[in-house]
Amino acid sequence: MKKLSLIILVFICACSSNKKNEEHAIARVYNSFLYVKDLQGVIPNNVSGKDSILLVNEYIDGWIKQQLLINQAEKNLQDVQKDFTKQLEDYKNSLTIYRYETELIKQSLDTNVSDNEITEYYTKNKDNFELKENIVKVIYVKVPQSSPLNIARLYIKSDKEADKKKLQDFCHKYAVNYYLEDGNWLLFNDILKEIPINTYNQEEYLKNNRLIEIKDSTYIYLLNIKGFMIKESLSPLSFEKGNIRDIIINKRKLKLIETMQNDVYNKALKKGDFEIINK
């Protein structure tokens, strides 16, 4: 098959909106046909002509292989093996229920979670909040070696608000990367992705280092470890806040669905809409 000529024909046909062109067949496998209209949505609007041809070629190849495999399977499977009536019905029912539950959640779920609710859940479930990794509170700055480092060295170790503002101004001017939110807990492993700290024992490193300066071939990294917590200790509430909020909302989802299911059942029971027939 001369694919390139075929694709050009497809594009010529696709440019027209009349029904005759839409029903133009561009490929056949046994008694199955692929039509121009079946290619709608295959090619994004911003794709070049050359790339469009490649995409259509790939789609046609995929369609042909699929039809050949379907034909091969049809010939080699017994009728009972090809009967998907029950599976399809079960799948349709599951999708229908899921869609209804999704709409119910969208319309009725209360997603407002107060700080008091989060604190209460944390207090009652502390055993579930063991740290799996070391976490830290830090500020760090990554700057080219040509930067005026004495300024950064001075301000990065200060807790004064005026000095924090000066450090922020410095970072805006010189830093390649920086993080100044020292009130937030971060995974220490995420910090190691940003700063080339070499250590085989994170716990010992955190216990023995606060102000850190590291140099590589291009940059200098300044780090102030404001606080840390070791894995397997109790995870702080502030670190778990988002996770707890998600847990509470998920519990509400389950409760909402359970309540809906019970309401449907009880209403149907009262109206006699179902019965269990003894045979």
* Inter-axis angle of helices 161-174 and 149-156, nearest 10: 150
> Is 58 buried (19+), middle (13-18) or exposed (0-12) by CB count in 10 A?
exposed
**Structural domain boundaries enclosing 25:** 3-81
Structurally, how many domains does the chain consist of? 2
Are 135 and 222 within one domain? Answer: yes
Within-domain flag for 121: no
Share of the chain above pLDDT 90, in %: 69
For residue 211, is pLDDT > 90? yes
Q: Is residue 18 part of a domain?
A: yes
Q: Which amino acid, one-letter code, is at 88?
A: L
Q: Are residues 138 and 202 in the same domain?
A: yes
The answer to the question of residue 249 being in a domain is no
* Phi, psi of 32, rounded to the nearest 5 degrees: -100, 140
Through-space distance between the first and last CA atoms of the chain, rounded to whole angstroms? 63
Q: Say yes or no: 135 and 64 in one domain.
A: no
Residues 151 and 224 in one domain: yes
Q: 217 and 144, same structural domain? A: yes
12-16, 92-96, 216-220: the lowest-pLDDT one? 12-16
Q: How many CB atoms lie within 10 A of CB 235?
A: 21
Does residue 95 form part of some domain? no
Residue where one domain finishes, among candidates 205, 229, 253: 229
Residue 264 lies in a domain: no
Q: How confident is the model at residue 80 (pLDDT cuts 50, 70, 90)?
A: confident
Confidence of residue 197 (pLDDT cuts 50, 70, 90): very high
* Distances 191 to 78, 103, 164, 177, 213 between C-alpha atoms, Å: 59, 40, 20, 12, 14
Pick from 39, 66, 81: which residue ends a domain? 81
135 and 206: one domain? Answer: yes
Domain membership flag for residue 97: no
Q: How far is CA 167 from each of CA 144, 152, 160, 161, 227, rounded to the nearest angstrom?
A: 15, 6, 11, 10, 19
